[in-house]
Amino acid sequence: MTDKSFNPFEMAQTQFDSIADKLDLDEGTRELLRYNQREYHVSIPVRMDDGTVKVFRGFRVQHNDSRGPAKGGIRFHPMETINTVRALAMWMTWKCAVVDIPLGGAKGGVICDPHNLSAREQEGICRGWIRQLSRDLGPLNDVPAPDVMTTPQHMLWMLDEFETIRGSKLPGFITGKPVGMGGSMGRTEATGYGVIFNVREALKELKIPPADTTASIQGFGNVAQYAIELYNQIWGKVVCVSCWDQKDQISYSFKKLDGIDLVELKGITDRFGGIDKKKAEKSGYEILPGDAWIEQEVDILIPAALENQITGENVGRISDKVKIIAEGANGPTTPDADKEISSRKIFMIPDLLANAGGVTCSYFEQVQCNMNYFWEKDEVLGKLDTKITNAFNAVNGLAKSKKLYMRDAAYVIAVGRVVEACRERGWV
């Protein structure tokens, strides 16, 4: 979203085209899956705290619902674009399919910056987005969730507005809610933990003990923080993280060779994942440019921020020591960068597999809400581990047997499952 010349939807289509060729899909099937089934552009008027009315632009895109209700987050970002949302909706379809949960792909967004909005103004955006789209959302057709710069509180405002409009209690309409208000235990940890479940399995495949590894992570939001937490628990050491500084409007990397202190950094981090530079420096962290995370001499790289971060221009900066890249973010690696990563034999855990923990636990939340029976945290995380591990083994097994790049193997499985559903429904 930071590079106006970059079109993530074109990247998503390019990735699909490559797999369509491998699967020898007919033209009709390609046309159906290359584009989204539906998309909505809405205007959301909000009365601001100063009494003026400001109109925010919002989107919802439903890519494919052949395998079940559409599912996908809604993000608030000042540089949100419809092409970003289109790409994310398509990736959600493949992500749900690769972990084999009965959902399709969707995504939503609003062009806004929560940093500069009061809680009341943010609530107005949430309720306004629902008012504009409530006829086309619901637990049986499209289920939103949190994403970049949206929170459980935002989800609860949206749920309240939806239930008010529908006149009934429908907690399964939206996921990522606060625990105690229909949210699932373990949902906060799910995406970051899912990344490390995949990393753990990749290290087993490479026969490398986790305790012998180091990692560098782009981002310090929810995904990155819980990835660090679980990675530390399996005795890995994170030596560098990067984050966006809202005050300076620039990103920085924070490096400590003997390992970052997660609790310490969280204590000096704002609610959007921005680390206080001065306090970090006093605590012994080396402050580096924001893109320095990619050039660290570590075993594992985890891009866990935004799309278009590992490109043809910077992929050559990746150290020869790197053995694994685990995509905690959506679409962080461009196709031209993929070619070099593949040629260098770096073990790639693609986004639709690496960060599928979030949507998997969202599915668990939906199930729990619909039956009004909630599981304990250990049960949720145990089911998540099983689901992610099974998906990893299926993708890795296909990659080895067919000599495919891991991304291609994940796409072959995911697209194949969606194509099968479309054919069985008689759509193609």
Q: Which residue has the tokens 């039956």?
A: 371
Tally of CB atoms within 10 A around 272: 16
CB 103 within 8 A of CB 68: yes
DSSP state letters, 144-156:
EEE-TT--HHHHH
- Rounded to whole angstroms, the Cα distance separating 329 from 389 reads 19
In the structure encoding, which two tokens stand for residue 169, read together? Answer: 């209690």
Contact 211, 236 (CB under 8 A): yes
For 301-347, give the DSSP string: EEE-S-SS-B-TTTGGGS-TT--EEE--SSS-B-HHHHHHHHHTT-E
3-state secondary structure of 365: helix
Distance CA 365, CA 176 (A): 8
Distance CA 174, CA 326 (A): 27
Distance (Å, whole) CA 222 – CA 158: 21
Q: Which residues are CB-contacts of 170 (< 8 A; sequence separation ≥ 6)?
A: 138, 139, 159, 162, 163
Q: Check if 107 is active-site.
A: yes
Which of the residues 71, 107, 237, 387 is marked catalytic? 107
Per the CB < 8 A criterion, the answer to whether 277 and 290 are in contact is no
> Residues with catalytic annotation?
107
